[in-house]
Amino acid sequence: MRTATCLLMLLGLAPRLQAREARDPFEWLDRMNRASAVMLLEEDIIEPKQAATIAAAIEKLHAESREPNFRRSGLYVSIEPRLLEIGGPDVSRLHTGRSTIDTGRTNLRLQQRDLILNSYQELLEARATLLRFDEAHAQAIVPAYTLGVQAQPTSLGHYIAGYLSVFERHATLLADTYLNINQSPLGAAALGTSSYLINRQRLADLLGFEAPIRNSFDAVQLATLEASMRITGATSAMAMTTSELMSDLEDQYRMTHPWLTLPRELTVGSSIMPQKLNPTMINETRAQASTVLGRSVSYMFGAHKASAGDTDLMFSGPNEALTDTAAMMRSVARIFSVLQFDEPRALDEVLSDYAVATELANALQRLADVPFRDAHHVAAAVVQFGRDRKLRPTEIAFGDFKRIYADAAAKYHLPRLRAAFNEAEFKRVLRPENMVMSSRGYGGPQPAEVAAMLRELALQLETDRGWLREKNEQLAAADARLDAAFSKL
Amino acid sequence: MRTATCLLMLLGLAPRLQAREARDPFEWLDRMNRASAVMLLEEDIIEPKQAATIAAAIEKLHAESREPNFRRSGLYVSIEPRLLEIGGPDVSRLHTGRSTIDTGRTNLRLQQRDLILNSYQELLEARATLLRFDEAHAQAIVPAYTLGVQAQPTSLGHYIAGYLSVFERHATLLADTYLNINQSPLGAAALGTSSYLINRQRLADLLGFEAPIRNSFDAVQLATLEASMRITGATSAMAMTTSELMSDLEDQYRMTHPWLTLPRELTVGSSIMPQKLNPTMINETRAQASTVLGRSVSYMFGAHKASAGDTDLMFSGPNEALTDTAAMMRSVARIFSVLQFDEPRALDEVLSDYAVATELANALQRLADVPFRDAHHVAAAVVQFGRDRKLRPTEIAFGDFKRIYADAAAKYHLPRLRAAFNEAEFKRVLRPENMVMSSRGYGGPQPAEVAAMLRELALQLETDRGWLREKNEQLAAADARLDAAFSKL
Amino acid sequence: MRTATCLLMLLGLAPRLQAREARDPFEWLDRMNRASAVMLLEEDIIEPKQAATIAAAIEKLHAESREPNFRRSGLYVSIEPRLLEIGGPDVSRLHTGRSTIDTGRTNLRLQQRDLILNSYQELLEARATLLRFDEAHAQAIVPAYTLGVQAQPTSLGHYIAGYLSVFERHATLLADTYLNINQSPLGAAALGTSSYLINRQRLADLLGFEAPIRNSFDAVQLATLEASMRITGATSAMAMTTSELMSDLEDQYRMTHPWLTLPRELTVGSSIMPQKLNPTMINETRAQASTVLGRSVSYMFGAHKASAGDTDLMFSGPNEALTDTAAMMRSVARIFSVLQFDEPRALDEVLSDYAVATELANALQRLADVPFRDAHHVAAAVVQFGRDRKLRPTEIAFGDFKRIYADAAAKYHLPRLRAAFNEAEFKRVLRPENMVMSSRGYGGPQPAEVAAMLRELALQLETDRGWLREKNEQLAAADARLDAAFSKL
Amino acid sequence: MRTATCLLMLLGLAPRLQAREARDPFEWLDRMNRASAVMLLEEDIIEPKQAATIAAAIEKLHAESREPNFRRSGLYVSIEPRLLEIGGPDVSRLHTGRSTIDTGRTNLRLQQRDLILNSYQELLEARATLLRFDEAHAQAIVPAYTLGVQAQPTSLGHYIAGYLSVFERHATLLADTYLNINQSPLGAAALGTSSYLINRQRLADLLGFEAPIRNSFDAVQLATLEASMRITGATSAMAMTTSELMSDLEDQYRMTHPWLTLPRELTVGSSIMPQKLNPTMINETRAQASTVLGRSVSYMFGAHKASAGDTDLMFSGPNEALTDTAAMMRSVARIFSVLQFDEPRALDEVLSDYAVATELANALQRLADVPFRDAHHVAAAVVQFGRDRKLRPTEIAFGDFKRIYADAAAKYHLPRLRAAFNEAEFKRVLRPENMVMSSRGYGGPQPAEVAAMLRELALQLETDRGWLREKNEQLAAADARLDAAFSKL
């Protein structure tokens, strides 16, 4: 586990990646205007003097935008009047071969691009936090539940690593979504491009897009819906997993003695119940998940039955879903950075039920060659015996077991109990830690497998950090490209 | 366009890929049982004689399953009693290291795998049908709408190619979903594997999975939810695009003279309105889209707030969503295989409004160097003049235009109208076909771009057919592998 | 129709009912505090001197709340520290027998009460506006659609009166919802009341509630969910009808010549398409309906699977749904206060299809005793004849009809055409206005029935205005009662 | 409590109301046909001989419908051919003044009417079962939870009576929905009635409707959506409350020792975990609630954005929601008819936490005149003292309490502890049963209030049974009326 430890230390020390400053619709319109001015001159659609006039107007308006009370709009028609006041009628040539539609849908994608990277970053932070939590308690025994009922003991390391695997796959989904979004509609105009030879590739390049969307009708009339569904698909999936994890934690608080708890000072009290410690952080994180799902369905209501090009398709629901998803993942990170674990209490919960009964049956089959189903009948009889006498599994005497076995042997025509299955074995198989330690399957809770999985998870986290860094660098490079080209106008 | 034509002919001649016979849960349980028997013997967990007994019992039960009234269950506990009757208690060793949970969740994925491939195939067929329809009418002029109002003329080729691009991306989404689904939970048992050295890789291989899911807790407690959300995300996205396309067609039928119609014999009449031709096929396809969305949200209601391992996570909603999605895509193919297009009527609709006004403004800027916004003011005045007199754009006299321009020139301080903008140009720019033919942007409606896009779409369709063929072959190879190994027991 | 006209004039002149000033959570907490202080003294739970101290602290805090930067909270625990600073520890006795839970859930209902009345008032205004629009065009002929295809002519009066009937029933639903909401949880404390003899009836009375909710566990743990579902049920129903009406209007704009239009100056133009008149008001009203539905489903995601007393149940989604519903109904009123109707255009649309074919069949049965189905076969043949020749129904010659009839008579063994069905009758039954005027069914589009329905709708509108006035008066009386009692402390 | 007991005995003995035999669409079409035939003759629209021919054809077809393989359709156009074969062309006069639309939407309501009454009856049964369960354990102490954390003790009687109150209100909602649904669209034809004087009131009367829907456009084009939203609103509300109750029960099973359990023989075991007792009945009942919500949202997706008259509005989602709601309520009844309660275990859970702390504070204020907030500070200190030492509240010594009080008194400037607050009082207020017994609020958990509420609930249940009986009798009377009138044709 040393490699993992080492990586984790690095993670712990690594400075949190700086989130890109999110631009608002006005800023993105400004960037599109700059890109248009550069391209229009390069393609001889405007003359150098016109380009200079346009550039000056853009810069002046941008300077004005820093003043208080400036009305920041992402709609070109809202800022055009002021641009014309500043630079005269030729400035409107800036909009040549564009429309409100392609600039609007491009603006949406430019915002979504930042929001996806932001969600991705918060997801990385949450994974890093879960990984640290997991490493700290990897081999502790905890009960696991199936169908809402205690089922078998597992290790906390195994359980948390399971969630980490899902969040790892969610990162892939988000990255795929980013690639789908980061395609440029710009230059499609209202839907059919125009009679000007607009260089859509160049516009895409100056704004950091991977490429222009091939078909201009698709670009502005159809792809917005598809991209929005990609986003809500990804955020809904993340919300569901987060909801599942928060449900596990909320289940803790219904017990008088949970083993996973927030620090007392981070719980919220009651105005009249002095004993209450409400896990509000957890409740609110789950509420965030519900909100993300609600945003998704709200968008679907708006967009369903829209004809191509309808206004409903441009709803901002996916943007809000991404904002909420980032906040939700931040909450998960916050919770696991403070969550406390009470190991003896978790073990006590396992010991107070018969979660080890499966292993008793397995051992009977393996050591005493009792056929599978018969071994389970014997184990079931042991459970019943113990429950009737309010015994814990560890409190059942070997003598009693032998009597139970003999009865079952008569009923099911079993061989006599083999000597291999002696008292020491019997006692061993009824201990929770034995069941966890003796698991042998690929991906099971046994220490070697958990350690291997944690190493792999840490490595993939580093890889994903690299992906994010690369995307941020690509966008920064595009910014620099555009600034350099624009400064020459 | 010859290449595309050639490809399309090939597509037309190509036999429809045979859909894999969908196995029901009982059949898939039978396949898992065979795989378990093979692996347990290979790993020395059972003895050769036990393996033979088990294999014989499996074969006998499978033979019985072809009889009428056989109760086909996908639950191991439902079939175990009969297996034990046939082969005695040792047959239950078949279930060693497995549980209802991992077999259940594996069964779900095995079914979903077929359903995804089935949806993929229907999507391919729909794309092939749309492509044929598109090629037949590629250069015809049709009105396009933005915000629900006629906006600009485009070509039918451009419009349909736009939808084809989206459906092409949906195929990628489905293929990604397939990869996410085709991972094996088998051998995870209830959640923590077992004290038997179950070979999960071998089980995955015999059942055609890419690999076992790494973490056994994830495999059975968490990944089912994530995979289900992937499926509903993909099917919802497909439903939305289908809904959009059907809305476009339904919009046709509100007009007394649509240009896209079903053949009369495929419409549905009324019991008391002899003139009614209801486009029921279209309405029902849209209803299928609504149902797919409903299935998605239904699943989300069931799964939200489930704790890890809860029964709600195993709901079959995603399977039903896939079944409905396949049917929906089949309906799209059926509609476009019979849809009729009335070219003169579509052109007449364009001519009855001022959808070419943008190009009038563009031409004024390009030929007469009128600044962008001013050119649009002139075009707006022309539109107003024509509408006031109930003229079509092609009916406006050049003399009237010159008067309008002169008025605008005085108001906006424009230069005199350049000679380049003569009567012939004026008449030309007001013709819809000119606006489409003179588009110059990448991905626009002009014939060269549409032809290029159709070629690319046809090629990608062939590539995607190849992907499907490969996946089907992989599954067939796994089937053969398992049958061969099992026959030796 | 004089009575209706008279009523409508009254409605037109009647001043818009003043909406109750909506109190925020802080104001409602203040009202609850005053009610508690009054009741606690009346029940001898606090002493007169304590009551005076409490009252003074409440008044001082309320005065401070008018200052800028005051942090207005609806949570008692947030304001208690300042109350204690002002009046000392005895002020906390104000909270005796209460809790954050009952005050919180009561606060929610107090807000919802105002929001329901506000939605009700906007619904009344929308109904008044629709009624005025309807009366202005009651007998104009318009096409009606079934399954999205033109079906039969009706009168605009009949069509709009249909919507008015639905909105009338929605008012009943809202009023029922008000009664469900206006019940008091106060005094239930956390769930089980307390060992103090809190007078819950008196608290309800001082705050304008109908009554306390009987069971204190229900009051704070269960009824919030039920009440929220009532609200979202009512707002969703209103949103659906509004969506339906807006869809009808949006359908207009896909045609080049709609008959129901917004004034040009209220439409929104395009930055590059000079001819575009986008009906943004209509699109946005439909978007409001989508939002209301989204709020409803969002709430359901949050509340589903909550155990009794969970925090998720108190989500404010229903409040937001009500706010959006009020805005949506206001938009409907605004649209119909300016909507323009082009009567000749509507009639022309009817005449361009065979929407009267049903009446041709009816007349054949009634005047010529042709059996029902046979009469429809004849009418269908007439439609086919006309469509093949691109004739409007009014353009078909009687001679042609006779030939068609003779052919059908031979085929279906019909009697000779009776003399009663002469040319004048034939021409008459093919006129749209005849079909509307000769309708005889209860609730049909004929003028007498439309006039009767409009009278009834106007009367019910007055009745509903009376209901709203009464509710407002009841709340004002409760306010006065509380102020009077508090001023005596 | 004697009256309640007596009523409950009556309920127990009362035979379960016989559910009305649900008619399928074919049967309801048959009933409509009979009603049309009767009315058409009464209004002289058909002649006696024609009526006799029609009646004979209807009877013959109905006789044939009992044969195997008969294709039962609710669509008139599907059965008309056979009717004409039987009786000749005049039989088609039966459809005079009707259409597929009004018969279709009437058919939907006729089915929904039965389904609502069926849901109502199952709701009554569930209430009766809950009432019996409640009466059996009315005064037992159980913990109650707020925000998912143990809060205060209450009585099981109080808790269950809370749910009963909500289900009582749901019955009102269902009854209101019934009144909304039970209105007749018949005779509206496609939307505008017809030129025949169809007697819509008579048709309504013969089919058991309250009245015809006033406006014929509303009747068939608008009201279906509104009625469907009423139904889904009601079923969603019922599903939410059921989900809440099932969540409470599922929470039990996460504990190793629940106090509310299904009998062992009604739980479901595991194939490999011999100790598992899965509460499948409870899980499935919650899944039914999720399905009802899903049906509701599915319908909304289909119906949203439908224009008036669209096919989407007639979706059968509301019918399915009602069917599922009836099954869901039946499941609730089944669960509570077998649910077992372990009273000592419930009390032990209360005693293992500090749920009585509120009452300690209340007693300090009441008996020792400690100001409210100060009393709560003292109680909080007691809780902290006990938790630090792992003491139960009943294990804290009075001496320790006095020291804690003295410390607090110094800190908060409290008076010396009054003698009234002696050791006996101290011990008393820390006992859960004291907290419940000494509640004094209206609707609280104290025995007198619980008994009063149970009496009221039992009385209202009888009233509601009366409502159902009355509705069933009204429908039976209409059936008899129609049969008598039809037999005379």
Dist. CA B94–CA B31, nearest whole Å: 12
The count of residues in chain C is 489
Angle (deg, nearest 10), helices D156-181 and D100-136:
170
pLDDT band at A9; cut points 50, 70, 90: very low
Q: Which residues of chain D have pLDDT under 70?
A: 1-21
Q: What is the pLDDT of residues C71-128, one digit of tens each?
A: 999 999 999 999 999 999 999 999 999 999 999 999 999 999 999 999 999 999 999 9
pLDDT at C462 > cutoff 70: yes
pLDDT of residue A313: 79
Our CA-based measurement puts residue C214 at a distance from the nearest CA of chain D, in whole angstroms, of: 5
Do the chains contact at B440 and A212, CB–CB below 8 Å? no
pLDDT at C2 > cutoff 70: no
Nearest to D297 among B100, B297, B310 (CB): B297
Dist. CA A143–CA A437, nearest whole Å: 14
Chains that touch A (3 or more CB pairs under 8 A): B, C, D
- Mode of pairing for the β-strands spanning A183-184 and A149-155: unpaired
Chains that touch C (3 or more CB pairs under 8 A): A, B, D
Dist. CA D195–CA C434, nearest whole Å: 10
Do the chains contact at B270 and D189, CB–CB below 8 Å? no
Indicate the burial class of C132 (C-beta count within 10 angstroms; 0-12, 13-18, 19 or more).
middle
pTM (2 d.p.)? 0.95
Question: Which chain B residue has its CA at the smallest distance from C253's CA?
Answer: B149
For residue C194, the chain D residues in CB contact (below 8 A) are: 358-359, 362, 439-441, 444
Dist. CA A131–CA A160, nearest whole Å: 8
Torsion on CA atoms B272, B274, B276, B280, rounded to nearest 10: 70
Do the chains contact at A215 and B374, CB–CB below 8 Å? no
SS3 letters across D215-262 = CHHHHHHHHHHHHHHHHHHHHHHHHHHHHHHHHHHHHHHHCCCCCEEC
For residue D241, the chain C residues in CB contact (below 8 A) are: 222, 225-226
Nearest to D301 among B254, B290, B302 (CB): B290
The count of residues in chain D is 489
User: Which value does ipTM take for this structure?
Assistant: 0.94
Dist. CA C333–CA C132, nearest whole Å: 11
Partners of residue C340 on adjacent β-strands: C261
Q: Is-contact A200 A32, C-beta < 8 A? A: no
Dist. CA D120–CA D128, nearest whole Å: 12
Q: Which region among A55-69, A101-115, A451-465, C17-31 has the lowest average model confidence (pLDDT)?
A: C17-31
Angstrom CA distances, D310 to B191, C332, D74, D314, stand at 50, 21, 19, 8
Our CA-based measurement puts residue B439 at a distance from the nearest CA of chain C, in whole angstroms, of: 15
Mean pLDDT rounded to a whole number for chain A: 94
Dist. CA A52–CA A49, nearest whole Å: 5
Q: What is the pLDDT of residues A365-421, one digit of tens each?
A: 999 999 999 999 999 999 999 999 999 999 999 999 999 999 999 999 998 999 999
Contacts A–B by Cβ distance under 8 A: 385
> Which residues, other chains included, contact B306 with Cβ-Cβ below 8 Å and sequence gap of 6+?
A243, A244, A247, B225, B312, B313, C305
pLDDT band at A12; cut points 50, 70, 90: very low
For residue C361, the chain B residues in CB contact (below 8 A) are: 272, 274
Question: Which chain A residue has its CA at the smallest distance from B187's CA?
Answer: A441
Partners of residue A150 on adjacent β-strands: A145
pLDDT of residue A2: 39
pLDDT of residue C11: 39
pLDDT of residue C345: 97
Dist. CA D146–CA D160, nearest whole Å: 16
Nearest to B383 among C275, C305, C354 (CB): C275
Residue whose pair of structure tokens reads 């014309």 in the numeric block? A84
Q: What is the pLDDT along chain B (489 residues), one digit of tens a residue?
A: 344 333 334 334 444 445 556 799 999 999 999 999 999 999 999 999 999 999 999 999 999 999 999 999 999 999 999 999 999 999 999 999 999 999 999 999 999 999 999 999 999 999 999 999 999 999 999 999 999 999 999 999 999 999 999 999 999 999 999 999 999 999 999 999 999 999 999 999 999 999 999 999 999 999 999 999 999 999 999 999 999 999 999 999 999 999 999 999 899 999 889 999 999 999 999 999 999 999 999 999 999 999 998 887 778 899 999 999 999 999 999 999 999 999 999 999 999 999 999 999 999 999 999 999 999 999 999 999 999 999 999 999 999 999 999 999 999 999 899 999 999 999 999 999 999 999 999 999 999 999 999 999 999 999 999 999 999 999 999 999 999 999 999
For residue D150, the chain A residues in CB contact (below 8 A) are: 254, 256
Q: What is the pLDDT of residues D80-135, one digit of tens each?
A: 999 999 999 999 999 999 999 999 999 999 999 999 999 999 999 999 999 999 99
Helix (H, G, I), strand (E, B) or coil at B151: strand
Question: Which chain A residue has its CA at the smallest distance from D247's CA?
Answer: A148
Instruction: Using alpha carbons, select from B295, B296, B261, B259 the residue that is nearest to residue B281.
Output: B261
Dist. CA C383–CA B276, nearest whole Å: 10
> Which residues, other chains included, contact B28 with Cβ-Cβ below 8 Å and sequence gap of 6+?
B74, B106, B107, B110, B111
For residue C273, the chain B residues in CB contact (below 8 A) are: 146, 151-152, 355, 357-358
Q: What are the b/e assignments for D210-249, b being 16+ CB within 10 Å?
A: eebbbbbbbbbbbbbbbbbbbbbbbbbbbbbbbbbbbbbb
Do the chains contact at C283 and A312, CB–CB below 8 Å? yes
pLDDT of residue C321: 97
pLDDT at C16 > cutoff 80: no
For residue D294, the chain B residues in CB contact (below 8 A) are: 294-295, 297-299, 301-302, 317
Dist. CA D104–CA D221, nearest whole Å: 11
Chains that touch D (3 or more CB pairs under 8 A): A, B, C
pLDDT at C14 > cutoff 70: no
Dist. CA A266–CA A334, nearest whole Å: 11
Nearest to C353 among B256, B352, B357 (CB): B256
Instruction: Using alpha carbons, select from D156, D153, D155 the residue that is nearest to residue D359.
Output: D153
Question: Which chain D residue has its CA at the smallest distance from C232's CA?
Answer: D233
Partners of residue D146 on adjacent β-strands: D149
pLDDT band at A5; cut points 50, 70, 90: very low
pLDDT at A56 > cutoff 80: yes
For residue C283, the chain B residues in CB contact (below 8 A) are: 147-148
> Which residues, other chains included, contact A6 with Cβ-Cβ below 8 Å and sequence gap of 6+?
none
Do the chains contact at C236 and D234, CB–CB below 8 Å? no
H or E segment at A145?
strand A141-146
Dist. CA D244–CA C307, nearest whole Å: 5
Do the chains contact at C361 and B297, CB–CB below 8 Å? no
Dist. CA D173–CA A358, nearest whole Å: 49
pLDDT of residue D311: 80
pLDDT at C4 > cutoff 50: no
Do the chains contact at A162 and B218, CB–CB below 8 Å? yes
Our CA-based measurement puts residue A487 at a distance from the nearest CA of chain C, in whole angstroms, of: 27
pLDDT of residue A90: 96
Do the chains contact at B144 and A192, CB–CB below 8 Å? yes
